[in-house]
């Protein structure tokens, strides 16, 4: 059970800040049914990252790697945003100085945002500004291994044989998932935007990440070095817990709706 006193403290911190950075990891989607990477039932318990999520693995056996991504696409494609995604979408639409940076490739933040807007919750906010800065790419995009063409793609993947794998419409070369694999650099422009948001944030709210994968895990440190504070929501403690001024033990879907239901009346004084 989460600590109501701690939630109240964190809510005040968030309520008195304009520039808020929310950094999310797999834990924010756990209650939607998307498996995390490192938990007891995490994806990396059953699959070794170096066998599946590296450029070398793809070069050695693209069929196996596509089979795994096809499976994840299918599984994630059936999932719905949960109340944490909804609360975050509302905040980023309401507060034009809030930014969302995610490590997730599941598209659930984007879906929550679309749904909030179609329900008339855009509140005059800009949807493109509220869109997540995606550090690790997307499960539902492909990138050509030859011409680099990127496309949105939600089709089921036929990974029966190498010949049936998805191919580029423009040049016919093999496509790969447009995600960042171990050993690959993040898109420098995307990283720059995320770092800018971390540097200027008064509060960095870190939700559902083990804080083990860099540079994502360095963003809260950047906020702290720049004079801001870190608030963490996680079911367990992480290396970021000791950096946080407030750390709430609980599930994102339970904690975030009350944490982000900010009473703006006691913001300006
Ligand atoms: N609410 C909040 N936190 C949760 C919940 C929940 N319902 N369920 C699990 N968690 C926490 C776990 O305690 C853990 O700290 O979410 C975190 C999930 O950690 P990881 O599985 O390591 O996911 P993440 O931090 O996003 O991984 C980073 O690693 O393999 C790569 O590219 C992949 O983007 C991913 C990156």
Give residue-wise pLDDT tens across range 29-88: 999 999 898 887 787 788 888 788 999 999 999 999 999 999 999 999 999 999 999 999
State in Å: Cα 39 to ligand 1 middle: 7
Structure tokens at 201: 């944030």
Q: For residue 186, name the pLDDT band (cuts at 50, 70, 90).
A: very high
Does the beta carbon of 107 lie inside 6 Å of ligand 1? no
Taking all residues of the chain, what is their mean pLDDT, rounded to a whole number? 92
CB atoms within 10 A of CB 214: 10
- List Cβ neighbours of 50 (8 Å cut-off, separation of 6 or more): 56, 57, 182
Ligand 1 proximity of 177 Cβ (cutoff 6 Å): no
Q: Is the CB of 31 within 6 Å of ligand 1?
A: yes
pLDDT tens digit string along 2-13?
Answer: 677 889 999 999
User: Distance (Å, rounded) from C-alpha 16 to C-alpha 187?
Assistant: 33
Range list of H helices, the chain: 4-15, 43-46, 49-52, 55-60, 62-77, 83-94, 108-118, 127-130, 188-200, 219-225, 252-259
Determine the residue of 10, 38, 186 to mutate for testing ligand 1's pocket, defined as the one with the most ligand atoms within 8 A of the Cβ atom. 38
Whether the pLDDT of residue 267 is over 60: the answer is no
User: DSSP 3-state assignment of 65?
Assistant: helix
Question: Which pLDDT belongs to residue 265?
Answer: 42
CB 77 within 8 A of CB 152: no
- Tell me the average pLDDT across 84-109: 96
- Note the pLDDT tens digit of each residue in 115-143: 999 887 665 567 888 999 999 999 999 99
Q: What pLDDT score was predicted for residue 66?
A: 96
136 given a catalytic annotation: yes
For residue 215, say if its preceding peptide bond is cis, omega within 30 degrees of 0. yes
Tokens, residue 31: 């209650």
Q: In what order do the strands lie in the sheet containing 229-234?
A: 133-134, 98-102, 20-24, 203-207, 229-234, 246-249
Please report which confidence band the pLDDT of residue 1 belongs to, taking 50, 70 and 90 as the band edges. low
């Amino acid at each position: 059970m989460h600590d109501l006193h701690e939630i109240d403290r964190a809510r005040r911190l968030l309520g008195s800040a304009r520039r808020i950075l929310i950094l999310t990891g797999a834990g924010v989607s756990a209650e939607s049914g998307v498996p995390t990477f490192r938990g007891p039932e995490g994806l990396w318990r059953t699959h070794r990252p170096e066998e599946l999520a590296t450029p070398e693995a793809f070069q050695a056996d693209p069929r196996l790697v596509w089979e795994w991504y096809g499976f994840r696409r299918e599984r994630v494609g059936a999932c719905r945003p949960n109340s944490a995604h909804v609360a975050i979408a509302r905040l980023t639409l309401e507060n034009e100085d809030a930014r969302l940076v995610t490590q997730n490739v599941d598209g659930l933040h984007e879906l929550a945002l679309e749904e909030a807007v179609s329900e008339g919750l855009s509140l005059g906010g800009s949807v493109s500004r509220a869109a997540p800065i995606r550090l690790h790419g997307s499960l539902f995009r492909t990138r050509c291994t030859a011409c680099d063409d990127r496309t949105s793609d939600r089709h089921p993947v036929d990974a029966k044989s190498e010949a049936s794998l998805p191919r580029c419409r423009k040049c016919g070369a093999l496509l790969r998932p447009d995600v960042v694999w171990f050993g690959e650099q993040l898109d420098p422009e995307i990283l720059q935007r995320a770092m800018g948001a971390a540097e200027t944030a008064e509060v960095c709210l870190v939700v559902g990440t083990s804080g083990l994968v860099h540079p994502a895990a360095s963003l809260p440190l950047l906020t702290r070095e720049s004079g801001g504070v870190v608030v963490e929501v996680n079911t367990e403690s992480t290396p970021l817990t000791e950096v946080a001024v407030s750390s709430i033990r609980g599930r994102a879907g339970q904690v975030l709706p009350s944490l982000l239901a900010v009473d703006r009346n006691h913001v300006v004084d």
